[in-house]
Chains A and B, each alone.
Chain A
Amino acid sequence: MKPIAIKKGITIEELPGEIIAYDLGSHRAHCLNRSAVEIWRCCDGTMTVEEIASRLHQQIGLPKDPELVRLGLEQLKAARLLEVESVEPAADPPPSRRAMSRRHSLAAMAIPVVTSIAVPTAAMAQSRRGGTHPPQPPHPPNPPRPPRPHH
């Protein structure tokens, strides 16, 4: 199967080596590290998992391992950044990031990672007052001090 990325309704903010993909429909935001970004970019419906693995090997020097790609695809699928039908259901769950890191002696940063959050509504983000005890009641104010020199 040839995975297809979902790009409609997704707004992208590019950072050095990462991107933030914001799903305007579900209001979920995802941070893709470099490997995950490269996999996602390859998902144009023309490449198989093996071909994507070769492309990643050429472009960013990742080991030519389809399992590494599947690990990224699983995360992208969970983040709803891939057309579900375009991804072959895995017979076995892909190896963990740690296992993959050990297998190829890769730095953790080289393993594809997609981190997701549900973007809060304004009310959810709003601070409340009172209610429960504070995490740590501070001491009462000190007497006023002479002003510090301005820096």
Chain B
Amino acid sequence: MNELVLETHGLRIAVRSNSAMLLEQLRNRTASVAAQSSGTPQLSYTIEERRGESGLSYAIRCGTGRMQRSTTPREALDAVLRRMQLHVAEEAPDHIFVHAGVVSWEGKAILLPGRTFSGKTSLVVALLRQGAAYYSDEYAVLDRCGKVHPYARPLQVRVAGGSRLWTAHMLGAEVGSGPLDVALVVFAKYHLTSCWQARPVSPGNALLRLLANTVCARKRPHEALACLRLVAVEAPAYVAMRGDSGDAVKPILDLLARDSKVGRKL
């Protein structure tokens, strides 16, 4: 078995596989969010490639327990990555992970919290096309001071029948490099026929909505509340209905301009 140990956000995770190609792909997929490590891992996954009568299959285990079986290497890799991400998002000792798309505009971070299929990635893509810098399409990684750090994994763009991975550079965008203050939070909900409508929400309401998207909220409520409070008190927050993601970019940047006086008209 080959082994790859990855270190990210204070955690070390080993992935073992009899397929060197799979580990190489894993290393490439995680290069932007995790470094290779030689330390002792706290958690391990195994991906075993098996050749059977019906072709190749992949058995995935977490520790010694069985997790699932996949029929393609991509599926196996996605499954392991998903679980690794969740583990890190829940256990990272010094950070709070909130499900959110994040971009920066002129040095100010915009958070777009939302669950699966809320259209986070398409909104992030639309903002990147207009010149925003990429931070994440999945997690706002907040430190104890409430600053947001890059989690610049490849964007997972859903297309009919599956998803594609795009880098920010493929969209002509830069990747953010350092922690930023959060300047705006927009809880945008997609609806096919909606036009842009936004209303401000109070800091308490914003905190409650952020908490609903926080991975470690149940496990570490005190830390989560203290961290989210900083964001909720400092950054104006809005609840919005939106249609096409391209049409939402200007109103979002207008909100940023209005609230922080640093935005610029498109």
A-B interaction: yes
Chain A interface residues toward B at CB < 8 A: 11, 13, 15-20, 22, 24, 27, 29-33, 115, 117, 119-123, 125-130, 132-138, 141-145, 147-148, 151
In chain B, what residue has the closest Cβ to A32? Answer: B204
Interface of A is mostly: loop
CB atoms of B174 and A147 under 8 A apart: yes
By a CB distance below 8 angstroms, the chain A residues around B204 are 15, 17-20, 31-33, 115
Q: Is B162 located at the chain interface by the 8 A CB criterion?
A: yes
By a CB distance below 8 angstroms, the chain A residues around B209 are 117
Number of A-B contacts (CB under 8 A): 147
CB atoms of B159 and A151 under 8 A apart: no
Which of B78, B119, B203, B221 is close to A136, meaning CB atoms less than 8 Å apart? B119
The 0/1 profile, CB within 8 Å of A marked 1, for residues 216-236 of chain B is 111101100110010011000
In chain A, what residue has the closest Cβ to B245? Answer: A136
By a CB distance below 8 angstroms, the chain B residues around A20 are 204, 207-208, 211, 225, 229
B64-83: which residues lie under 8 A (CB-CB) from chain A? 78, 82
Shortest distance from the beta carbon of A50 to any chain B beta carbon, whole Å: 28
By a CB distance below 8 angstroms, the chain A residues around B156 are 129
CB atoms of B171 and A141 under 8 A apart: yes
The 10 closest A-B CB pairs, nearest first, are: A18-B204, A134-B158, A145-B172, A141-B170, A31-B204, A13-B225, A122-B90, A135-B119, A127-B116, A151-B106
